[in-house]
């Protein structure tokens, strides 16, 4: 089927791709909000906790990178599925916290995982929408018959990007790395995607002093440290409330489904207040709209697979589901897919 433009974004349908498994890896170090009373007052911590929903987060050590977490997840997933390293045809690494400016972290992971030299490997620089975009990219490689097996590694160590004194971000972001296995399967149910971008939101989630542009774009931002992540919370909230319900409704309509016809909705864990507002607009019952932001915070591109791996029977992780990623860019992506082919879904600590 040819792609179709909709008011919510581009609709794309993918055939013959089975999601075989997901493993998500979190650092062992756990930080509680109340551990930060040396920086913020107890009253402020409680206020922010109520708004964001975050109570604890997992934070990488100084030496621990996103690739370390994703590598551990990939090793566990390949072992669980019985995938030989030489059987993997491509590796896609989605992250905004790579190991280096160059080379691509996916290339290093190809070597560290012992994958064959025939394996294609590349990085994708996306955050909040990154997992769903990664699923689409990996699936199109398979649907186009370029490859048969793909490892999608998505994650971020966003805690390394935030100003420890910034109340808007210091209590919000956690770290995680994930691995998802996708494979050609002629009998697999089709997957529908809606994808979109509005780059006018560029400066509402940004590290102003980055790579080559320097801090040139920071002049019209409120006073903040340009070396750290800046977030315009109200503008991001407005974008999310405006865009996400339309995107989810579009992917359901394109799939011929309704909210009642899905097992659960797996959304990027951005902010609990915002997510509950979206669920209300979509008329999603609580049992179909799981959250884990209270335990892990916002882990950027890792939130959806981390949510899948930590549901603990809180929602039916089978049959048809809707996924939605949205945020930095602005960038957004939703998917309607079947999880009936998934045989592995678990969480590990590293």
Give the tens place of pLDDT for each residue, 80-138: 999 999 999 999 999 999 999 999 999 999 999 999 999 999 999 999 999 999 999 99
Q: Compute the average pLDDT of residues 9-31.
A: 96
**Do the domain assignments include residue 254?**
yes
**Do the domain assignments include residue 145?**
yes
Q: Compute the average pLDDT of residues 184-189.
A: 96
- What is the model's pLDDT at position 216? 56
- What is the model's pLDDT at position 219? 54
**Do the domain assignments include residue 327?**
yes
**Do the domain assignments include residue 1?**
no
- pTM for this one? 0.95
Say whether pLDDT at 55 is over 70: yes
Say whether pLDDT at 262 is over 80: yes
Please give the positions annotated as active site: 128, 268, 298
**Do the domain assignments include residue 262?**
yes
How does residue 241 score in pLDDT terms, banded at 50, 70 and 90? very high
**Spatial distance between the Cα atoms of 325 and 299, rounded to a whole number of angstroms:** 12
Residue 36's domain is classified under what CATH number?
A: 3.40.47.10
- What is the model's pLDDT at position 222? 64
* CA dihedral sign of residues 241, 222, 59, 211: positive
How many domains are contained in the chain? 1
- What is the model's pLDDT at position 217? 54
**Average pLDDT, rounded, for the chain:** 93
Give the tens place of pLDDT for each residue, 274-301: 999 999 999 999 999 999 999 999 999 9
Q: Compute the average pLDDT of residues 25-46.
A: 95
Which range marks the domain in which residue 162 is found?
A: 7-350
Say whether pLDDT at 74 is over 70: yes
Q: Which residues of 205-238 are buried (b: 16+ CB within 10 A; e: fewer)?
A: bbbbeeeeeeeeebeeeeebbbebbbbbbeebee
């Amino acid at each position: 089927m040819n792609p179709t433009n909709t008011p919510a974004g581009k609709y794309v349908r993918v055939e013959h791709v089975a999601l075989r498994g997901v493993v998500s890896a979190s650092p062992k170090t756990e930080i509680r909000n109340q551990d930060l009373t040396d920086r913020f007052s107890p009253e402020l911590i409680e206020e922010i906790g109520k708004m964001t929903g975050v109570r604890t987060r997992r934070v990488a050590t100084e030496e621990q990178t996103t690739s370390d977490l994703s590598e551990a997840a990939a090793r566990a997933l390949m072992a669980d599925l019985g995938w030989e390293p030489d059987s993997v045809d491509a590796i896609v690494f989605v992250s905004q916290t790579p190991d280096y400016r160059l080379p691509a972290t996916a290339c290093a992971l190809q070597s560290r995982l012992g994958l064959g030299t025939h394996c294609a490997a590349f990085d994708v620089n996306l955050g909040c929408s990154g997992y769903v975009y990664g699923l689409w990219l990996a699936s199109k490689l398979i649907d186009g018959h370029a490859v048969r097996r793909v490892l999608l590694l998505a994650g971020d160590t966003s805690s390394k990007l935030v100003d420890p004194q910034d109340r808007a971000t210091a209590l919000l972001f956690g770290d995680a790395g994930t691995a998802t296995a996708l494979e050609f399967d002629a009998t697999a149910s089709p997957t529908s995607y809606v994808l979109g971008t509005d780059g006018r939101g560029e400066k509402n989630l940004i590290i102003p002093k980055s790579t080559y542009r320097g801090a040139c774009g920071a002049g019209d931002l409120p006073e903040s440290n340009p070396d750290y992540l800046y977030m315009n919370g109200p503008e991001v909230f407005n974008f999310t409330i405006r865009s996400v319900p339309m995107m989810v409704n579009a992917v359901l309509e394109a799939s011929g489904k309704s909210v009642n016809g899905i097992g659960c909705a797996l959304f990027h864990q951005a902010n609990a207040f915002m997510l509950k507002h979206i669920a209300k607009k979509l008329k999603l019952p609580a049992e179909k709209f799981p959250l884990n932001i209270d335990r892990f915070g916002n882990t950027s591109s890792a939130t959806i697979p981390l949510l899948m791996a930590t549901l603990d029977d809180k929602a039916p992780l089978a049959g048809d589901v809707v996924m939605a990623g949205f945020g930095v860019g602005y960038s957004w992506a939703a998917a309607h897919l079947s999880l009936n082919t998934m045989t592995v879904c678990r969480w590990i600590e590293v």
